[in-house]
Amino acid sequence: MNRLPACPGCGRAEDRHPEIVLREDGIDLVRCAALGCRLVYSNPAPTDGELADHYDEAYDDNDVGSYESSRARAFGQYVALMERLLAPGARTLDVGACFGTFVGLARAAGFDTRGIDISAPAVATAQAAGLPVEHGNLDDLADSIEGGETAPFAAVHLWDFLEHMPRPLPTLRSARRVLAEDGLLLCAVPDFRFQRVKVAAGRAWERASGRTTGLTTVIPRVHLIHYTPASLRATMRRAGLEPVLIRPGTQNLPKRKERHRLLKTVAKAAVRRAAELVFHATGEVVGQEIVCVARPIASSPIVEGA
């Protein structure tokens, strides 16, 4: 773990006495002081090597069934969004494809989708299932596209991915490089405003009931950047991408063994409905997750700084 000297979203040096909005598991969640940024990030953060080791270990058990069941609802919504926005058969890239679950769903819906992931065990599982998922990173793929070796994509999707990246700007810049000029970037990240409420409510429930809820963490060692709609929009623009849609979405369900089934199902359904009503009444995104669609800004210089 390394202490970050500056905001990973805009490059502003961390203040001597930074604003710590939450502290968990020995990690500070720090809010950038720059008014045009205000990104919240975990500090200290894991090194690239620690991240690679984590994902190799996390997906080495090949627990595909648990992975698929925990993401079924969210992945279904993502496919429906693609069907609304993209032409049939559009060529798309799933970044952080893991076992290839979403790649398979998108291909079943008629899209020409392939995936990429840094976890060798996860990629091996996907390839054994006959899914077009490659081991590698976006930078290498972007180099091959710019070199004319590979065609650009009509869409790049970062589902439940960007919050895991300690430096979001390089990731988004690489995603922009692999997009066609009229392509779309689609992503979904947890809404930190909801996460804070969830943690506060979970801790209060545990104090009152003496029971563990599983709702008291933001997983700061895995979720490294904690977005709000405003900070996500600012980060996208800094990378040369203009958000054209930001709205609430449904986050992945916890694994069955970790949840009190009735309580959590009812609570999450109520949260989803409330988020939808607020969005339609005011246009404000409030929910477990933020879904964003963005386009490359034509001839836009990429703002450096992180």
How far is Cα 5 from Cα 15, in angstroms, rounded to an integer? 9
How far is Cα 273 from Cα 248, in angstroms, rounded to an integer? 10
Please compute the mean of the pLDDT values over residues 21-42 and round it to a whole number: 94
pLDDT in the model for residue 302: 43
Please compute the mean of the pLDDT values over residues 127-135 and round it to a whole number: 96
What Rg, from alpha-carbon coordinates, does the chain have? 19
Neighbours of 294 (CB within 10 A): 27
pLDDT in the model for residue 150: 86
pLDDT in the model for residue 73: 79
Please compute the mean of the pLDDT values over residues 113-137 and round it to a whole number: 94
The pTM assigned to this predicted structure is 0.86
pLDDT: is 107 or 251 the higher one? 107
User: How far, in Å, are 41, 90, 161, 164, 226 from residue 222 at the CA level?
Assistant: 11, 32, 10, 6, 11
> Which one is the CATH code of 19-296: 3.40.50.150, 3.90.550.10, 3.40.50.720, 3.50.50.60?
3.40.50.150
SS3 of 213-271: CCCCCCCCCCCCEEECHHHHHHHHHHCCEEEEEEEEECCCCCCHHHCCHHHHHHHHHHH
pLDDT in the model for residue 177: 94
pLDDT in the model for residue 248: 85
pLDDT digits (tens, 9 = 90+) for 207-249: 888 877 666 678 899 999 999 999 999 999 999 999 999 988 8
